[in-house]
Amino acid sequence: DIHIGTYLVGHVCRLYGQMERAYEYFLLDLRNEYRLTEIFEPSRIMVFFKASLVITTYQRIGLIQLGSFYRDEKKYDSAIKQYKIALEIQDNHVKISELNYHLGYCYDEQQEYNLAIEHYKRALAIFETTRDDLMLIPLYTSIGKCYKKKQDCTTAIEYFKKALELISNDNDDIQICELYDNISSCYYITEQYHRALEYSTKSLFIKENNVHLNIYDLKVIAHFNHFVGLCYSKMEQYDLAIHYFNKMLKMWEQYPSFLDVGFKVHENIATMYMKKKQYHLAIEHYKKELVVSKDQYDNTDLHVKIGECYQRTYNYELAVLHYKTALEVLENTDDDDDNDDDIIQYLMMTTAHLYFKVNQYDSAVEWYTKVLNMTDESSIEHSKAVNGIAKVWYEKRNYEQSWSFCSKSMNNDFEKFEIYGKIFHYYGEQIFAYNCFVKSIQILSSSPIMPHYRKKYIKRIQKALNQLK
């Protein structure tokens, strides 16, 4: 039969990766039997198929193979068309379930997760009745992955565990580890770090005891040590976190090709030491991360963290040096990012505060003034900067200037006037209390804080006003 021959040649070409030739033979198989001229048009094909008294097995398989050709070429829309045509003319339950699996895969790749789940479940309904574990395992796994991508980790875990039940007694370490990995990452996402650790350590044990380790396996083990370290860090078991981060670090040193700056392992170790208040070790690893990350990604945050470590060890001059380095990078960035503005204000304010600490008052005023120039008068940061300058003048014994800036600071702080109002109320000074509460509400009314907070604070102060006689 010429149709069988063209189909088989196409199938062999596909197996050998000769996709263009495979496509030509699958197309020829379809055209020979039905004299089709436009294989891409589903409605045209269906007219011929429905008009035909007999649809051969190889014709059905040819459509599936053509769909698989498109799928392998990542032409998912075309693959879906062929699979759907084949689905409409199928009467074999197994083939119907396989087609739904293929459709689910294509929709999955297109990130159409609801449609993917729909077709995977149609396939699942058939295979669950036949108890075909070889198909149930990948179906449960694929459905679980779709739910995971939809951020429905609870449902994802259910399907991963169903797959795990079917292979737990087999010696398929690859599938078992894949399921352990997916389950542990779902638990990590949902902040169930103890459960994440339970499954990740199971996976790591299997991987490390594989007697046929290759370079790829070692890289996976290195990355998984990093994941276990993250779990321990979230559980605040910092010593164990450092232990696993260091295991990954040693593997990187042994196999430099494993190096992936995205993992920021030195930074993670430094953060653990910072949590343990071992700032000298934290600084050491933050600086190593600076070397590793050079020209790879924005390392402004590393300079900020190094500055914080020096600040906590009272080494203010080095802290200022790193804060200024971070500021220089941020101020030369073209991005209009509000978060950057907040960081810049924080760094300027902290730099001014540290200059004040070391009695470099002129430098302190210079940096407080920079904060004033970039903040709104009604903002908290502006008020803090004014307060800072007032403190500088006080230390320099220029009390008139100090009072002047202190008064300006008060004018922007609604909470101070609220507190003064309560104090005056306590001592029976009703008029003074009333004036302070009114002033507090006036400041709040023009404040840039979030509307729901403003409403909450005004309601609180209004309640205090109503208590006045």
> Exposed, middle or buried: residue 338 (CB in 10 Å: 0-12, 13-18, 19+)?
exposed
Output the CA–CA distances (angstroms, integers) from residue 409 to 87, 356, 464, in the order listed.
Answer: 75, 18, 23
Output the CA–CA distances (angstroms, integers) from residue 240 to 235, 244, 374, in the order listed.
Answer: 10, 6, 44
Per-residue pLDDT of the chain in tens (469 residues, 90 and over written 9): 444 556 566 667 666 667 667 666 666 655 554 444 344 444 444 444 433 333 445 455 667 777 887 888 889 898 888 888 888 776 677 778 888 999 999 999 999 999 999 999 999 988 888 777 788 899 999 999 999 999 999 999 999 999 998 886 555 788 899 999 999 999 999 999 999 999 999 999 988 887 677 777 888 888 889 999 999 999 999 999 999 999 988 888 787 766 664 568 899 999 999 999 999 999 999 999 988 877 555 788 999 999 999 999 999 999 999 999 999 888 877 666 666 788 888 999 999 999 999 999 999 999 999 999 988 877 778 888 888 898 898 888 888 888 778 777 666 667 777 877 888 888 888 888 898 889 888 888 876 666 777 788 899 999 989 888 6
DSSP code per residue over 418-461: HHHHHHHHHTT-HHHHHHHHHHHHHHHHT--S-HHHHHHHHHHH
Please state, in angstroms and rounded to a whole number, the distance separating the CA atoms of residues 273 and 293. 19
Residues 6+ apart with CB under 8 A from 174: none
Please state, in angstroms and rounded to a whole number, the distance separating the CA atoms of residues 317 and 319. 5
Q: Among 188, 241, 237, 184, which Cα is nearest to 207's?
A: 184
Prediction pTM value: 0.69
Q: What is the DSSP letter of 379?
A: S
137 within 8 A of 163, measured Cβ to Cβ: yes
Q: Phi/psi class of residue 260: alpha, beta or left (left: φ > 0; alpha: ψ in -120 to 50)?
A: beta
What the block records as the tokens of 418 is 């609220």
